[in-house]
């Protein structure tokens, strides 16, 4: 690019690179989805079509960004995790976040018709905000994921009971809210069961647990879960010079990186509604945290 007298303005651009060697989580959230869910008459408290659409958009994001290792979605939000060794866009927060937000939004709008064939979109169109947060350890990252899944459970139990009191119990919103004030989980389970014959455990997993998206390879049933889930094993494909005793970002040799890229591109993206709090999920899929297929 030719020099011009205007070029000095470039110095106004501030760097926003995220701390190296940390897990990057980009969480996006639907803007004004309270209103949007009313406009398109989403089922209450959960609309299966809306959740399936969120998941389909997340699969699109995972396909386009092979640096992502896992995602977790609930309600109108999705968290996407970049591996700690990721160097995409020099780890610039704004580039990572805006790329995810716009890719997700594009898929969401593009796929809308598939999930809501009889309700075409009209302005104001769906949009999402996003933020990037870094977590320095696997423990912190897993606690973040657990936090979102516990949130899903707490909100879903509340919302399920609230809407059952209204839809089947004939209460208005104010009375239902009053009824639930100060109740524990066990009280809500009891209300559902004794008054409405609903066993909360039998509610759909997608509502109770949210959705986790990840690249699927052959599952390993015999993995020692305690070690695999907390400390990913080093991969023999790594160039020499990388030793376990340093915390330097792991760098693949060129041929290994190419193979890695191909394997990731070919991998099926799985969407599951399972527990991600316990070790089992991570232990059986060591490639998620190791970042290597």
What residue ranges bind ligand DGT (CB under 6 A)?
A: 29-34, 37, 42-47, 50-51, 75-76
The option from Mg ion, ligand DGT, none interacting with 42 (CB < 5 to 8 A, set by class) reads ligand DGT
- Choices 12-20, 31-39, 160-168, 267-275 (CB under 5 A): range interacting with Mg ion: 31-39
What is the C-alpha separation between 137 and 97, in angstroms, rounded? 21
Compare residues 42 and 78 and give the one whose CB is closer to ligand DGT.
42
Phi first, then psi: give them for residue 134, nearest 5 degrees. Answer: -105, 145
Q: Is 148 in the site for Mg ion (CB under 5 A)?
A: no
Query: Helices 138-167 and 173-180 sit at what angle, rounded to 10 degrees?
Result: 130
Contact of 114 with 56, CB cutoff 8 Å: yes
Compare residues 109 and 230 and give the one whose CB is closer to ligand DGT.
109
Q: What is residue 78's three-state secondary structure?
A: strand
C-alpha closest to that of 92 among 168, 26, 187: 26
The option from ligand DGT, Mg ion, none interacting with 34 (CB < 5 to 8 A, set by class) reads ligand DGT
Q: Is 30 in the site for Mg ion (CB under 5 A)?
A: yes
Smallest separation, CB 52 to ligand DGT (Å)? 10
Compare residues 30 and 126 and give the one whose CB is closer to Mg ion.
30
- Choices 5-13, 73-81, 145-153, 269-277 (CB under 5 A): range interacting with Mg ion: 73-81
The option from Mg ion, ligand DGT, none interacting with 50 (CB < 5 to 8 A, set by class) reads ligand DGT
Compare residues 131 and 261 and give the one whose CB is closer to ligand DGT.
131
Smallest separation, CB 58 to ligand DGT (Å)? 14
C-alpha closest to that of 130 among 84, 76, 85: 76
Phi first, then psi: give them for residue 129, nearest 5 degrees. Answer: -100, 170
Strands 23-30, 77-82: parallel, antiparallel or unpaired by DSSP?
A: antiparallel
Contact of 77 with 29, CB cutoff 8 Å: yes
Q: What is residue 91's three-state secondary structure?
A: helix
Q: Is 77 in the site for Mg ion (CB under 5 A)?
A: yes
Smallest separation, CB 33 to Mg ion (Å)? 4
Contact of 141 with 23, CB cutoff 8 Å: yes
Compare residues 96 and 206 and give the one whose CB is closer to ligand DGT.
206
C-alpha closest to that of 278 among 154, 143, 184, 187: 143
Smallest separation, CB 98 to Mg ion (Å)? 12
Q: Is 33 in the site for Mg ion (CB under 5 A)?
A: yes
DSSP-derived letter for residue 118 is T
Smallest separation, CB 75 to Mg ion (Å)? 5
Tell me the DSSP string of 183-242: --HHHHHHIIIIIH---GGGS-HHHHH-EEEEEE----TT--HHHHHHSPPPPTTBPTT-
Smallest separation, CB 116 to ligand DGT (Å)? 12
Of residues 37, 65, 73, 76, which one binds Mg ion by CB under 5 A? 76
The option from ligand DGT, Mg ion, none interacting with 260 (CB < 5 to 8 A, set by class) reads none
Contact footprint for Mg ion (CB under 5 A): 29-30, 33, 76-77
């Amino acid at each position: 690019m030719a020099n011009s007298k205007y070029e000095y303005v470039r110095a106004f651009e501030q760097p926003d690179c995220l701390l190296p060697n940390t897990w990057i989580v980009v969480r996006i959230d639907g803007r004004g989805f309270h209103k949007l869910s009313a406009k398109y008459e989403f089922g209450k408290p959960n609309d299966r079509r809306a959740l399936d659409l969120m998941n389909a958009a997340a699969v699109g994001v995972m396909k386009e960004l092979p640096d992502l290792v896992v995602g977790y979605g609930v309600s109108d939000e999705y968290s996407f995790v970049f591996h700690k060794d990721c160097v995409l866009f020099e780890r610039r927060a704004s580039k990572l976040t805006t790329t995810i937000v716009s890719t997700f939004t594009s898929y969401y709008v593009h796929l809308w018709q598939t999930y809501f064939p009889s309700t075409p979109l009209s302005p104001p169109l769906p949009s999402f905000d996003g933020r990037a947060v870094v977590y320095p350890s696997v423990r912190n990252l897993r606690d973040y994921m657990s936090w979102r899944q516990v949130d899903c459970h707490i909100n879903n139990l509340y919302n399920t009971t609230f809407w059952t009191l209204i839809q089947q119990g004939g209460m208005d919103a104010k009375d239902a809210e009053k009824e639930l004030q100060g109740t524990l989980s066990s009280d809500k389970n009891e209300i559902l069961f004794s008054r409405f014959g609903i066993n909360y455990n039998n509610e759909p997993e997608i509502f109770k647990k949210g959705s986790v998206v990840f690249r699927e390879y052959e599952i390993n049933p015999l993995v020692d879960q305690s070690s695999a889930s907390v400390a990913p094993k080093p991969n023999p494909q790594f160039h020499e010079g990388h030793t376990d005793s340093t915390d330097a970002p792991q760098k693949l040799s060129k041929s290994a990186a190419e193979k890695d890229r191909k394997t990731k591109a070919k991998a099926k993206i799985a969407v599951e509604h399972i527990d991600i709090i316990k070790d089992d999920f991570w232990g059986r899929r060591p490639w998620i945290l190791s970042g290597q297929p």
